[in-house]
Chains A and B, each alone.
Chain A
Amino acid sequence: MTFNEIKKNVEPHFYAISIDRFFPKVLRFSLRKLAVLGAIFFFFASFNSFPFSLSFADGLSFLCIFVYFILAFLESFYRSMRYEGVYSRIKEKALEDSQSMDYILSELLYKMDDIDASRCLFETQSGLEILERAGIEELESREFVYSNRSPVIASSLSIENGLSLESFIESLYSKDKSLQSFLSARSVSKEDFVNASSLVNNLHEKKRRKSRFWSKENLGSIPSMGTSWAYGVASDLGKFGVAFERMVDLSMVDIENGYRSKELDLLEGVLERRAEANVIIIDDDESVARDIVARLLQRMKLGVSLPSIEHKNIIELDTTSLTASFKDVGSLQNELLRLLNQAVSAGNVILYIRDLPAFVSSAKNIGVNLPSIISPFLASSSLQIIAHSSNNDFHYFIETNPTLLERFERIIPENVEAGGSLSPVIEKALDLEKDYGLKFSFGSLKEIVSSADRYVSLGEMPAKALDLLVEVCPWLKERGIRIVKEKDITSFVSEKTGISVGPVGRDESERIAHLEEILHKRVVGQTLAVSSVASAIRRARSGMTASNRPTTSLLFLGPTGVGKTETTKALAESFFGSEEHILRLDMSEYSGPDALQKLIGSFGEGKTGLLASRVRDNPYGVLLLDEFEKASPDILDLFLQVLDEGVFTDALGKKVNCRNLVIIATSNAGSSHIWQAIASGKDLEKEQPIILDTIIKERIFRPELLNRFDGVILFHPLKDTELRMVAELELRKLKERLKEKEMELVLSDELIEFVVAKGKDPQFGARAINRVVKNTVEDFVARKILSGEVKPGGKIEVNIADL
């Protein structure tokens, strides 16, 4: 559709917009009122002389009626123009042959400058709203529109399918290069921009639909009088029944976004049955079941549910107070029967029971056999029950109970992935916005969903995302943020979790760029290893790695005492801020047959495992698996999965998320080959495949396990010069420690040489040097301090001969 055709099509809206522009709604409304009042006033004023006299007042009264009629007809015209192309859920003759048209699109077109098409975005209220939803403040937009840019002509625009705002925005974006660069400088992609416009459009169209009060769908949602008369006695089940409507907030529930529609259709289908129309919703999160029932209620209220359940009441049975109020079998049984009989004789009750298994078991504790009591009611045609149960409890309590099981139809809500969570998040965000005076950009909402999916390890989607949304609101308000952008969400998530999320800040980018230098401050030598670690981290931080795997996983191979563990510590310090973020597991402790049980727990004893609980407590950090080759084969198989999927399932059946961990396994497998390679002067990098081959041949690690690591890094034995550096580093550390006690250790080349000479042990590398520093130098210093030879402020000179 070319630009001229578009303009022709939306002409009806132009009339409405013109009327609104030159003759605002408020003015029209008050003039109409005034005219009515005037007509009445002058009509009565004319009675002053005697009734129906031909007087001046009568003339004025007729004039007022005339004005009123003109205004009323103008309003009718305005309305029929304004509601052209509006969507209606229920078919209407008046709307049948008009194609759908978005009102905002017409508003933009109305204002459009022929030689500068994008300007209308910045000069209309709805245009600015779209920009805000894309995450751009009004000030920025104003700066852009008056800046030096190359505008596009309106006639170059075209729309592919239908008169939708989205396709118009898409076309505007692809034509206007300066708009593109303006948006991408603020990290708004085309998709985000179009989605932002779609969000605004939906809001406006919903309002437009709602203001058309005479439409069939709006009239249909008005509750009719006396519908309950068609049923038996009116009943609210007394103090143990709560109207479901009072328990949930339906104001923002959108039944048209397709969220949970599959489950809803199923639920309605079951409830429509003549008998045994009972449903049990099985999900670990009760809010999922509650949400589905709330959506059903909303459908019923809007008059779009199946006719047979349209006028029913959903009542929640307050099972906790019910079981708490009656302590003996007889009275609880009596009350239960009374309630259920009441519900049956009412005939229009849908009973909602949360956590049915808990109700069954607490009734059992009192001595009431609940299944046999409610079974006949479940079979009846005049009572419907929607119950909820968690997965485990369902198998444990309901499945083992045939009387209950056969009466209920099971609904297992589908797992909502990150993509499907966006619509409930939008629903809730629009609701929360009003309370906190915020405006969420589309990008920020998307970020909430993806952050919750990736960084919140407890719970399921979309509940995780909704929780994050609720948490972020007060935080944003505290900081005076009005328009919420992606980076606000990422900084909240970083603050909450302690891991760096989102765009890399200047501080961090500096740190990451110089990661090698930072690591080298603690790690001596190992240039190759350090640079491969640094590049793996850079890859992970840039977001290029797959999100369904651990942040990064590395296997460090090399002899003992060459810096494998030290590199890990340095990495934790530079990437996560402190060494405390290391979860260290010594795999030599997990070599026995009970190793797997120790790590993932045991079902029989109901114990959670060490790995499962520690990763749950501390989901962001470095998981250090020391002496990986010593782990039992079961454990290696477990890590096969962890490295590949980033999750494992513990013995209790709960998923543990390892996707925010840097997993580092160290091993001295193959160190003899590394020794040989170095001794014969070969290049370690070139020898790597051969060394890995021998490790596989020796059956230390299986090839598939080695392949799952993002990198296998070889550490070479330390050379003499490096040992010297280690000695110096260790002595300096000692010097620092003494400095805190206001004593000065004098370091001499002689001392360093001594330490190197004494601690040089190819078997143990730097560890031997450490031992010498501890056993000789520190020992010497300690004796001096204890004997009182050195006092605070004094100098300690180490004489080699004394050692």
Chain B
Amino acid sequence: MSEHYEGGFDLANFFSSFVVNSIMRIVGFATRSLVLLIGLFAYILTSLFFLGVFAIWLLAPALIMGILVLAVTFLIL
């Protein structure tokens, strides 16, 4: 979406397309930036999540045993 300025000395037309196109660009800039930010945020979150899962994966045997010990202690106490 944009307006076309046909050229020539027509101030009204020039300013109208100037304003419309500027608004369009500003709105476009805002939405794109917002989406990029959300994307970046999601990216960081996934990376952290990945790190967590990876840690669990590495520590799995100890973790499972630990949780079982915890469960038993809690149940007995």
- Set B1, B67, B70: member contacting A233, Cβ < 8 A: B1
Q: How far is the CA of A58 from the CA of B74 in the complex (A)?
A: 6
Write the B28-56 contact mask toward A (1 if CB under 8 angstroms, else 0): 00001001000100000000000000000
Q: CB-CB < 8 A to A229: which residues of B? A: 32
Interchain nearest-CB distance for B59 vs A (Å): 11
CB-CB nearest in chain A for B74:
A59
A73 contacts chain B at the CB level, 8 A cutoff: yes
- B35 in contact with A69 (CB, 8 Å): no
A56 contacts chain B at the CB level, 8 A cutoff: yes
- Set B1, B68, B73: member contacting A66, Cβ < 8 A: B68
Q: How far is the CA of A765 from the CA of B6 in the complex (A)?
A: 96
Q: How far is the CA of A664 from the CA of B34 in the complex (A)?
A: 81
- A69 in contact with B1 (CB, 8 Å): no
- A226 in contact with B70 (CB, 8 Å): no
Q: How far is the CA of A348 from the CA of B73 in the complex (A)?
A: 64
- A62 in contact with B1 (CB, 8 Å): no
- Set A55, A59, A70, A225: member contacting B35, Cβ < 8 A: A225
Q: How many A residues are at the interface, by size bracket?
A: 10 to 19
Q: How far is the CA of A140 from the CA of B2 in the complex (A)?
A: 70
Q: Which among B1, B39, B63, B74 has the highest number of chain A CB atoms within 10 Å?
A: B74
Given A225-B35, A229-B32: A69 in contact with B60 (beta carbons within 8 A): yes
- Set A56, A59, A69: member contacting B63, Cβ < 8 A: A69
Interchain nearest-CB distance for B2 vs A (Å): 7
Q: CB-CB < 8 A to B74: which residues of A? A: 54-56, 58-59, 62
Q: CB-CB < 8 A to A226: which residues of B? A: 32, 35
Interchain nearest-CB distance for A339 vs B (Å): 16
Q: How many B residues are at the interface, by size bracket?
A: 10 to 19
Write the A415-447 contact mask toward B (1 if CB under 8 angstroms, else 0): 000000000000000000000000000000000
Question: Do most interface residues of chain B lie in helix, strand or loop, or is the interface mixed?
Answer: helix
Q: How far is the CA of A229 from the CA of B2 in the complex (A)?
A: 15
- A60 in contact with B75 (CB, 8 Å): yes
- B67 in contact with A65 (CB, 8 Å): yes
Write the B62-77 contact mask toward A (1 if CB under 8 angstroms, else 0): 0110011011111111
Interchain nearest-CB distance for B35 vs A (Å): 6
Interchain nearest-CB distance for B43 vs A (Å): 12
- B64 in contact with A54 (CB, 8 Å): no
Given A225-B39, A226-B35: A62 in contact with B64 (beta carbons within 8 A): no
Q: CB-CB < 8 A to B67: which residues of A? A: 62, 65-66, 69
Q: How far is the CA of A225 from the CA of B71 in the complex (A)?
A: 44
Q: How far is the CA of A69 from the CA of B32 in the complex (A)?
A: 40
Q: How far is the CA of A226 from the CA of B73 in the complex (A)?
A: 52
Q: How far is the CA of A59 from the CA of B32 in the complex (A)?
A: 48
Q: CB-CB < 8 A to A73: which residues of B? A: 60, 64
Q: How far is the CA of A226 from the CA of B75 in the complex (A)?
A: 52
- B64 in contact with A69 (CB, 8 Å): yes
A370 contacts chain B at the CB level, 8 A cutoff: no
A63 contacts chain B at the CB level, 8 A cutoff: yes
Given A70-B64, A225-B39, A226-B35: A233 in contact with B2 (beta carbons within 8 A): yes
Interchain nearest-CB distance for B5 vs A (Å): 15
- B75 in contact with A59 (CB, 8 Å): yes
Given A66-B64, A70-B64, A229-B32: A56 in contact with B75 (beta carbons within 8 A): yes
Interchain nearest-CB distance for A416 vs B (Å): 45
Q: CB-CB < 8 A to B76: which residues of A? A: 59
Q: CB-CB < 8 A to B32: which residues of A? A: 226, 229
Q: CB-CB < 8 A to B64: which residues of A? A: 66, 69-70, 73
Q: CB-CB < 8 A to A54: which residues of B? A: 74, 77
Interchain nearest-CB distance for A105 vs B (Å): 31
Q: CB-CB < 8 A to B75: which residues of A? A: 56, 59-60, 63
Q: How far is the CA of A70 from the CA of B67 in the complex (A)?
A: 11
Write the B11-39 contact mask toward A (1 if CB under 8 angstroms, else 0): 00000000000000000000010010001
Cβ < 8 Å to B, chain A residues 695-717: none
Q: CB-CB < 8 A to B39: which residues of A? A: 225
Interchain nearest-CB distance for B30 vs A (Å): 14
Q: How far is the CA of A62 from the CA of B66 in the complex (A)?
A: 10
Write the A194-231 contact mask toward B (1 if CB under 8 angstroms, else 0): 00000000000000000000000000000001100100
Q: CB-CB < 8 A to B63: which residues of A? A: 69
Q: How far is the CA of A93 from the CA of B73 in the complex (A)?
A: 43
Q: CB-CB < 8 A to A233: which residues of B? A: 1-2
- Set B2, B60, B70, B77: member contacting A62, Cβ < 8 A: B70
Closest 4 CB pairs of A and B: A59-B74, A59-B75, A62-B71, A63-B71
14 A/B residue pairs, CB under 8 Å, sorted by A: A55-B74, A59-B70, A59-B71, A59-B72, A59-B74, A59-B75, A59-B76, A60-B75, A62-B70, A62-B71, A65-B71, A66-B64, A66-B68, A233-B2
Binding site for A on B (CB under 8 A): 1-2, 32, 35, 39, 60, 63-64, 67-68, 70-77
Q: 11 extra interchain contacts, Cβ-Cβ under 8 A, other than A56-B74, A59-B76, A69-B60?
A: A54-B74, A59-B71, A59-B73, A59-B74, A59-B77, A60-B75, A62-B67, A69-B63, A73-B64, A226-B32, A233-B2
